[in-house]
Structure 1
Amino acid sequence: MSEARSALPGATFEGIAKVAEAGLKGMVTFRGDLGNAKIKSAIKAVTGAAVPKQRAVTTAGGKGVAWMSPDELLLMVPHAEADATVEALAKALKGQHFMAENVSDARAVFTVTGAHAREVIGKLAPVDMSRFEAGEIRRTRIAQVAAAFWMAEDGTITVVCFRSGAEYMFGTLSVAAQAGSEVGVY
């Protein structure tokens, strides 16, 4: 069995914001009736976080749940716990209509941090970053790459994309974060 590796181990860039590859992260795509009480209970049991409202992220103890669409969530857990999370959901939701898949190794995760983190994302995504608040998520494009991003707190943005686009995403975020590129909008 091969050893798991993140897409761009240790890659960082510092300019008006710091861009860093976040390392291995456990991610489980979940689809089902998000209003179902049994599903809500199972999600909370495996993550400690409640099913979020539309375009929101909830977190608890290093784990989290991100709203991706009306019937889809992204569960975030430690990388080593992703398979066990899928198994626990299968056991808790036996007989329910749902899908849970470990997609950890198909994704790349980056963090953009610093006073100009909003500006870096604002240059690349069609989102009004002046109104974007902590706890929100957007599923959109960053430059030409399908991505999702959320803000844990002001100045800390997490970006998720397909692993196949990791190098392009890192390069694009780094160019947007170049020193001297401040626009001063946010």
Structure 2
Amino acid sequence: MSDLVSALAGARYAGLATIEEAGLQGMITLRGDLSSKTLQKAVKAATGAEVPQTRRISTSDSGAVAWMSPDELLLLVPYDEVEEKTAAMAEALSGEHALAVNVSDARAIFTLSGAGAREVLGKVCPVDFDASAFKAGDFRRTRMAQVAAAFWLDEAETFHIVCFRSVADYVFNLLKTSAHPQSRVGVY
């Protein structure tokens, strides 16, 4: 069996903010009726977190759940448990009109931290990153320059960014360029 590797093998850059490829992360895309008690129970069993409100993320010690659309969630679980949790989710939802798919190896995840993090993202995403507008627990799906991305802010003021693995190098370089010390705009 081959060794597991993340998209960019832990790439890191420090400038206006620190960008780090976060490594392997278990991710399950779940489609279904988010108001279903059966689905909510299966989500809680897999992640320890509740189904979040619109454009929010719910976290626990064992995982997280992000709102992706009115009928879609992204579940974050330990990478080494994702197959087991996906199978358990499919079994728990067998009577529901729902779909659970392991998308871990199709995605990459980055962290963006530091005083300039809001500015770095603000230059490449059409989102208001003012501290009064984007708070801990907020979650967005949007464009990051020319590619799809999703991100949230945690309590430690660190952004977590998810993108397709196929564009991980592009996203890293985009963030790196936006975080270059000579590119400060000073909006946030």
TM range (shorter): over 0.9
Q: How many Å apart are 1:153 and its aligned residue?
A: 2.6
Cα RMSD of the aligned pairs, angstroms, is 1.0
Check whether the contact 1:118–1:155 (CA below 8 A) recurs between aligned residues: no
Spell out the pairing of 1:21-170 with structure 2 (5 A cutoff): 21-130=21-130, 131-153=133-155, 155-170=157-172
Partner of residue 4, structure 1: 4
SS in structure 2 of the partner of residue 94 of structure 1: coil
2:48–2:62 Cα contact (<8 Å) kept: no
Aligned-partner Cα distance in 2 for 1:61–1:154: 15
Kindly provide the CA deviation profile for residues 104-137 of structure 1, in whole angstroms up to 9, marking residues without a partner as x.
0000100100011111100000001111111011
Distance apart, 1:176 and its partner CA? 0.5
Cα distance in structure 1, aligned partners of 2:151 and 2:46: 22
SS of the equivalent of 2:141 reads strand
SS at match of 1:153: coil
Flag structure 2 segments of 5+ consecutive residues without an equivalent: none
Stretches of structure 1 that go unaligned for 5 or more consecutive residues are none
Q: Which amino acid aligns with 1:181?
A: S
State the match for 1:184 in structure 2: 186
Deviations 1:127-166 (A, max 9, x none): 0111111101110111111100110135300110000000
What is the aligned-residue identity percentage?
55
The one-letter amino acid of 1:86's match is: T
Residue-by-residue CA offset, 1:58-80 (whole Å, 9 max, x unaligned): 00004100000000000000111
Number of aligned positions between the proteins: 186
Asked whether the 8 Å contact 1:28–1:74 carries over to 2, the reply is: yes
Give the TM-score normalised by structure 2. 0.96
